[in-house]
Amino acid sequence: MAKDQYYIIDFDSTFTQVEALDELGEITLEGEENKAEILQQIRDLTNGAMEGKSSFTEGLSKRLALLKANRRHLKPLIQLLQNRVSDSIRRNKDFFQAYADNILIVSSGFKEFITPIVTEYGIKEENIYANTFKFDEQGNIIGFDEENLLSLDRGKIKLLEELALEGDVYVLGDGYTDYEIKEAGLANKFYAFTENVVRDNVVAKADNVAPSLDEFLYQHKLPMAISYPKNRIKVLLLENVHPKAVELFKREGYQIETVSGALSEDELCERIKNVSVLGIRSKTQVTKRVLEHANKLMCIGAFCIGINQIDLTSCLDAGVAVFNAPYSNTRSVVELAIGEIIMLCRNVVDKSTKMHQGIWDKSATGSVEVRDKKLGIVGYGSIGAQLSVLAEALGMDVYYYDVIERLQLGNTRKCETLRQLLEISDIVSLHVDGRTSNEGMFGEKEFAAMKDGAIFLNLSRGHIVDLPALVEAIKSGKVHGAAVDVFPYEPATNDEEFVNELRGLPNVILTPHIGGSTMEAQENIGTFVPSRIMEYINTGNSYQSVNFPNIQLPELKNAHRLIHIHQNVPGVLANINSVLAGNQVNILGQYLKTNEQIGYVITDIDKLYDKKVIEEMKQVPATIKFRILY
């Protein structure tokens, strides 16, 4: 780095995620009856000064008076701040150590708590410019050094004028006082740091917006802890994905675009250009044609259990990893099934409808308890297995049928054939996956095999049941009651009418695909799927991907990671290692896993290597995608 470049970095809400004086108030005002009111006054004074709307000096005096702080409060404050260093600052510690001579912390905060934090990152104490407290004999904070330039309005400008730095100056901060340095002509550029807080009037004045330190380093071609700034990763989230997912992606620094409903194939082909991460639920169809338009797509998150709406084979051809949420909404689906079983056995739906019509039908005819009834579960995966546990707790006898060998829980008994299960079950509940081979698996023959007057539930996939056959079974009395949550065709938005032949039939519960739609389940999904996606992007870890070879990788330490996705043909690994050997690259660790279609090779190497190795790795025959993590 040239000796005549200086990087000025703010402390509050930039180096750390918080405003230190606000946090000090949380400590000093503990037990105060009007704590919340005082803290809000402190925050308002802080924001007013940071947004350039009020006098900094006056606001600082008022804040210290409200805090009633003592020297003893500084230790817990420092401990708190050590754990609240901004994520991108924390992961780029090497930058601060390598460029310590040219990094200046310029803050209107106080050295007493700033110095212990920033020096841990290699910043030199002589390069820390901040205010200092005044204490009385009892250690109470009674003010600040009024001779310090940073205690004054436009104090940062006065300080920079005094420093008279010779060279290029770049300022990174979240507040208006940081922008004023550039406005005064004392810096080449001002970067609005928005990782922790976004001040619209500050962003409007900035030369550039830095959602993280990584973006700042990237633009200045300085070494970063990650391969590229995360704000260059565009995420497209469809179908009202839970706000928790949006929050997590934003916190990671990604660009987020949300769409409330599903998109048609033509619409998605257009919108997916330059998208790195696509998040969908059950209605959006990710076809081969869509993937052909996805020029930057790295991975797809299915915020649901099912993945039949995604062309997994074409995803592999394109080197796109797919993640779903196989367990996050299990409990929600099971609880709905249990509730519907009880309501159908008691004719609750019809009784309720009559009550709304003013009809008092107090009759026990056709109403039965679920205790001692035989429940037949078709598909004994995570949902089917948990349903069996809750059903047993209600006193039901549980049977299951699955084409895959499963370990039964409790007293659940396995049936060797589907027909065997249908013939003995009082209640049949479907919980199979949406693979193409399951289409139409339950039709006229299966309904005929059921007991007369049995109860039927489908909370799995719409296309597995022949609806006309179900309608006939209900009308004939073969099926006493049914609950259906999924349908062969479902409206794309809430504005579209639901048209289906099951409408209006007696003792039939119809729900709009809400088996997993509880607040708890959606939040769990909104947390789980982003975590898997971010782990894949940040480390290459493909664990729990539904289409990629699953690899759990060790933490990347003091190395660079080469990630190579290729067609599963002979000789690729040999070619990769030939490239590495030809460039005298030292391999620290190598991990390979394949499936029938692709191979996934991760190689950790020494940081020192000839950059041409990257281009040569991309040219290895059968390469689908290649990227590097620093």
Q: Which residue numbers are catalytic?
A: 461, 490, 513
What is the CB-side half-sphere exposure of residue 214 using CA atoms within 13 A?
22
Residue 428 CA, distance from chain mean position: 36
Give the residue among 281, 230, 282 at the shortest CA–CA distance from 256: 230
* Pair of tokens at residue 232: 């260059």
Angstrom distance (rounded) from CA 51 to CA 524: 37
Tokens 């420093």: give the residue.
163
Length in residues, the chain: 630
What are the residues whose beta carbons fall under 8 Å from the beta carbon of 62, sequence distance 6 or more? 41, 45
Q: How far is CA 276 from CA 233, 236, 237, 295, 539, in A?
A: 6, 8, 11, 8, 16
Query: What would the DSSP string read from start to end of 440-501?
Result: T-BSHHHHHHSPTTEEEEE-S-GGGB-HHHHHHHHHHTSEEEEEE---SS--SSTTS----T
- CA 515 → CA 18, 38, 440, 460, distances in Å? 40, 46, 21, 9
In the sheet that holds 598-605, the strands lie side by side as 587-594, 598-605, 560-567, 623-629
As a whole number of angstroms, the distance between CA 138 and CA 31 comes to 21
509 strand-pairing partners: 483
Q: Please identify which residue in the block is written with the tokens 């080197």.
A: 319
- DSSP string covering 121-168, please? GT--GGGEEEE-EEE-TT-BEEEE-TTSGGGSTTHHHHHHHHH---SE
Q: Calculate ∠ Cα 313-318-321, nearest 5°.
A: 75
CA separation for the pair 337, 332 (Å, rounded) = 9
Q: Is the dihedral of CA 554, 559, 565, 571 positive or negative?
A: negative
- Residue for token pair 């040239």: 2
Paired tokens of 618: 């991309």
